[in-house]
Amino acid sequence: MALPWVEKYRPKSFADVVDQEEAKYVLASWICARFRAPKDFCTRWAKKKDKEILDARAVLLAGPPGVGKTTLIHALAREIGYELIELNASDVRTAERLKEVVGRGLREGSLFGYGGKIVLFDEVDGLHVKEDAGGLEAIIEIIENSKVPIVMTANNPYDPRFRPLRDISLVVNLKRLSEEEVVEVLRRICTSEGAKCEEEALRSIAKSSLGDLRAAINDLQMYLSGGRKTLTVDDIKRVGERNPQLSMFEILDRVYRARWFDEARAISFNPSFDWEQYFIWATETIPVVYKEIETMSVAYDRLSKADMFIGRIKRTQEWELLPYALELALGGVSQIKSKPRLPPFIKYGFPQRLLILAKSREARKRRDVLVEYLAQNLHVSRSYVKSEIIYVLGVLAKSDSKIVERLSKALGINAIDIKTLL
Amino acid sequence: MSELFWFEKYRPRSFDEVVDLEEVKARLREFVRGGNMPHLLFYGPPGTGKTTMALVLARELYGEYWRENTLELNASDERGINVIRERVKEFARTAPVGKAPFKLVILDEADNMTSDAQQALRRIMEMYAQNTRFILLANYISGIIEPIQSRTVMIRFSPLPKEAVFARLRYIADNEGVKISDDALEAIYEFTQGDMRRAINALQIAATTGKEITEETVAKALGMVSPRLLRETLNDAFRGNFGKAATQIYGFVVDGGIGELEIVKQLHREALKLDVPEYLKPEIAYIIAEAHYAILRGAHGLTQIYGALAKIRKLLKYTASI
């Protein structure tokens, strides 16, 4: 039976899962501390002694696609001889159904002499609010009463609605794979398929996969389809790469250096062009490129006109106006009468606005939790909480410290953090 | 019913019939030859051959059994989370018919599927990979969740080049016993910008006016101004007799029944092709943008068009570009 290569070359053993040693140590340490597992497995992999790992009720593997979350659990089950009971987003996961499937799975005796059972709730961030009603609560209940290992996977476990799940689980983050590791796997597959693959070609596939091994293997299969036995850089150039992503630095450079209006405008057709990001970057880079006040003012005038159109579009939902906004933001910033001759290299700094937002991300997340809690309890909108209630609460908290303590208890957020939010 | 529409009647049935897209065809042929392939994601603007390629691939893989081995769900089908969990899953888990190596699920306009429905697809694509492959078609790649992108080979479809569109339109016109001028082909391309389906529709609409298709008949049929006429009008507006240009535009709207917004859009395209210094083009774009916005907000169309033309003329005169 013809299998896609991602399935054909899916790691079978724990050791085969590449570039996730830290996650493997944590997972193995947890399994070996709380459940039965083969001695040699524990000797090799159970390297962690942290209390939070050993005491965790369940493990939640988090990370981007294609880094081995699901594969790691399948490999673990195979390695320690456990039967895997898996429920993923393609299954109905209402409270009733979850309890029925997991309950039945745990009650029934294992065939083939499995040493135990392991439950995998794959893609928990794919739980559907309506169709999987009560699913999240049921998973929490199953975890709290379970005598068997329960593991979950998610791309984004930091969604506020998964907070109760995070509270009773150990979150283990899997990282994007390094380019070297991806190349190494691709090289092994080429050898296995009897194909001669240029190092540079494999590196190109790895680079454009952005650390997603599954994507890289898929792409390799495409390039070597039909039983081809060679792969060169030219083959890849001809077909095009997975993520012909232009960084914002490259986009800006192309805009400022464009010699024609159409050339600048065409940048918006690039699949990786994100106009909202572009506006932030352009706002801060115009003075870096255009030092003369005359040129700078024309560039800002056009960017501000473009921004005005974006505002109109958002207000009226007249998206047919977007091309004008992009023309002004790209062609307008690029084509200026008194434009100076640009140096060969321009140092575009990372926008301060984005740096500040990144630094305050955690605080903003905590603030969102607080706002959500207040909105629900006070029966008002979130925007009303932000504009009115937070201020009132801040004043009240100054005169009564118990208020902060009560909020801290209710939200599970440090009292000092709450004070800074108010 | 499908014979009624030329874009369906002339939809290619084999790789050889597909115009352009040589590199994509070469890849897909290799998949057919090897009897194996990963899941695929075709993305790109409408009318660039995504659906056609997916159906051609199905025919080439399965021959006469292509319908039995293919589940095609498009935007008109219900494709919520339940359909994915039930219908798609059911189809994916059963064995292929005949000697086919695997079955095929084609999800058209996948970028319009809800995020939840896409989530439900993730593990189905892996668990039933032994006997089913998925081809997802999307206009915007941003509408496809990252985990699905990761599970597919992404193939980009770009707007078709002018020559490819012209060749196909000529072939259809010949078959339908219609004569089409080069100007008419240019006008159709101008209107459809590399979208083959719209181009064929435009040809079919224009053909209802008679057996000879000219630029004028295309413009009339599509409710647009003849590009040549509009260029002459702009020439008058910017370099010669403004009154004559205004009368022409009045005629387009009142006698020709062409919408003011359509004229503004064409004006936008044509004005940016003017032979003027590049630094003036953003100013021209802004003038037209303001007129477009004003019309959308209820302003009088003709007044806005005249105003825009007058401002552009003043701009060009002021900068001595005419």
Mean pLDDT of all residues in B183-187: 91
* Residue A111 pLDDT exceeds 60: no
Tens of pLDDT along A400-417? Answer: 777 777 777 676 666 766
* Residue A37 pLDDT exceeds 80: yes
B150 to A219: CB separation less than 8 angstroms, yes or no? no
Does B49 count as an annotated binding residue? yes
- Which pLDDT band, with edges at 50, 70 and 90, does A30 fall under? very high
Interface check B78 vs A, CB under 8 A: no
Per-residue pLDDT at A416: 67
The residue among B90, B105, B122, B193 with the most chain A CBs within 10 A of its CB, best to mutate, is B122
Mean pLDDT of all residues in A64-69: 91
Mean pLDDT of all residues in B48-68: 90
Domain definitions of chain B by residue range: 21-156, 162-222, 227-320
A65 to B85: CB separation less than 8 angstroms, yes or no? no
Mean pLDDT of all residues in A279-303: 91
Q: Provide the angle, in degrees to the nearest 10, between the axes of the packed helices A275-289 and A352-359.
A: 130
- Which pLDDT band, with edges at 50, 70 and 90, does A239 fall under? low
- DSSP H or E stretch at residue A415: helix A415-421
Per-residue pLDDT at A132: 66
Q: Which residue has the higher pLDDT, A386 or B251?
A: B251
Per-residue pLDDT at A271: 66
Per-residue pLDDT at B308: 95
Q: In 3D, which of A175, A208, A206 has the Cα closest to residue A189?
A: A206
Which of A122, A214, A337 has the CB atom closest to B150's CB atom? A214
Which of B81, B146, B293 has the CB atom closest to A128's CB atom? B81
A239 to B285: CB separation less than 8 angstroms, yes or no? no
**Minimum Cα–Cα distance from A91: chain B residue:** B85
Does A239 count as an annotated binding residue? no
Copy the structure tokens of residue B308: 């825009």
B122 to A219: CB separation less than 8 angstroms, yes or no? no
Query: Which CATH architecture group holds B21-156?
Result: 3-Layer(aba) Sandwich (3.40)
Radius of gyration of chain B (CA): 24
Per-residue pLDDT at A109: 58
Determine the distance in angstroms separating the CA of A89 from the nearest CA of chain B, rounded to an integer: 4
On the CB side of A301, CA atoms within 13 Å amount to 11
A240 to B156: CB separation less than 8 angstroms, yes or no? yes
Minimum mean pLDDT range among A99-108, A149-158, A331-340: A99-108
Per-residue pLDDT at A138: 82
* Residue B145 pLDDT exceeds 70: yes
Helical residues (DSSP H) of A291-351, grouped into ranges: 293-316, 322-334
* Residue A396 pLDDT exceeds 80: no
- Which pLDDT band, with edges at 50, 70 and 90, does B77 fall under? low
Per-residue pLDDT at A215: 94
Contact assessment for residue A123 and residue B121, using Cβ atoms and an 8 Å cutoff: no
Spacing of C-alpha B86 from chain mean position: 32
Interface check B124 vs A, CB under 8 A: yes
Contact assessment for residue B103 and residue B96, using Cβ atoms and an 8 Å cutoff: yes
- Which pLDDT band, with edges at 50, 70 and 90, does B307 fall under? very high
Mean pLDDT of all residues in B26-39: 88
Distance separating alpha carbons of residues A266 and A394, to the nearest angstrom: 50
Q: Side by side, which strands form the sheet with B103-107?
A: B70-73, B103-107, B132-138, B40-43, B153-156
B23 to A239: CB separation less than 8 angstroms, yes or no? yes
* Residue A191 pLDDT exceeds 90: yes
Per-residue pLDDT at B65: 84
Distance separating alpha carbons of residues B203 and A5, to the nearest angstrom: 44
- Which pLDDT band, with edges at 50, 70 and 90, does B206 fall under? very high
Which of B30, B82, B123 has the CB atom closest to A226's CB atom? B30
Q: Does domain B162-222 have CATH number 4.10.410.60?
A: no
Per-residue pLDDT at A297: 93
Per-residue pLDDT at A185: 95
The residue among B126, B288, B295 with the most chain A CBs within 10 A of its CB, best to mutate, is B126
Question: B227-320: which CATH topology?
Answer: Zinc Finger, Delta Prime; domain 3 (1.20.272)
Which of B268, B282, B293 has the CB atom closest to A261's CB atom? B282
Per-residue pLDDT at A24: 92
B102 to A2: CB separation less than 8 angstroms, yes or no? yes
Q: Which residue has the higher pLDDT, A316 or A88?
A: A316
* Residue A218 pLDDT exceeds 70: yes
Most confident of A147-156, B155-164, B173-182: B173-182
Q: Which residue has the higher pLDDT, B282 or A141?
A: B282
Which of A225, A239, A339 has the CB atom closest to B31's CB atom? A225
Per-residue pLDDT at A117: 80
Interface check B37 vs A, CB under 8 A: yes
**For A147, left (φ over 0), alpha (ψ -120 to 50), or beta?**
alpha
Residue indicated by tokens 């207000």:
A315
Does B46 count as an annotated binding residue? yes
Per-residue pLDDT at A362: 60
Per-residue pLDDT at B55: 93
- Which pLDDT band, with edges at 50, 70 and 90, does A29 fall under? very high
Mean pLDDT of all residues in A331-356: 83
Tell me the pLDDT of chain A averaged across its residues.
82
Q: Which residues of A touch B121 (CB under 8 A)?
A: 90
Tens of pLDDT along A366-377? Answer: 667 778 777 877
Per-residue pLDDT at B221: 86
Q: Which residues of A touch B278 (CB under 8 A)?
A: 259-261, 335
Per-residue pLDDT at A186: 96
Per-residue pLDDT at A217: 95
Please enumerate in sequence order all residues whose Cβ is within 8 A of that of B63, keeping only pairs 6 or more positions apart, or say none.
none
**Minimum Cα–Cα distance from A65: chain B residue:** B147
* Residue A17 pLDDT exceeds 80: yes
Per-residue pLDDT at A222: 87
Contact assessment for residue B235 and residue B228, using Cβ atoms and an 8 Å cutoff: no
Contact assessment for residue A94 and residue A132, using Cβ atoms and an 8 Å cutoff: yes
- Which pLDDT band, with edges at 50, 70 and 90, does B106 fall under? very high
Mean pLDDT of all residues in B236-253: 88
Which of B37, B126, B154 has the CB atom closest to A7's CB atom? B126
- Which pLDDT band, with edges at 50, 70 and 90, does B139 fall under? confident
The two beta strands, B132-138 and B103-107, are parallel
Residue indicated by tokens 């002694």:
A49
At position A71, the amino acid (one-letter code) is: T
Interface check B89 vs A, CB under 8 A: yes
Tens of pLDDT along A41-63? Answer: 998 899 887 877 878 879 989 99
Q: Which residue has the higher pLDDT, A169 or A207?
A: A169
Determine the distance in angstroms separating the CA of A191 from the nearest CA of chain B, rounded to an integer: 18
Q: In 3D, which of B265, B242, B262 has the Cα closest to residue B253?
A: B262
Q: Tell me the percentage of chain A whose pLDDT exceeds 70.
A: 83
Which CA distances in Å does B32 have to A273, B61, B82, B131, B312? Answer: 34, 6, 32, 15, 56
Q: Which residues of B touch A122 (CB under 8 A)?
A: 123
Mean pLDDT of all residues in A281-295: 89
Tell me the pLDDT of chain B averaged across its residues.
87
* Residue A77 pLDDT exceeds 90: yes
Per-residue pLDDT at A90: 66
- Which pLDDT band, with edges at 50, 70 and 90, does B318 fall under? low
Does B209 count as an annotated binding residue? no
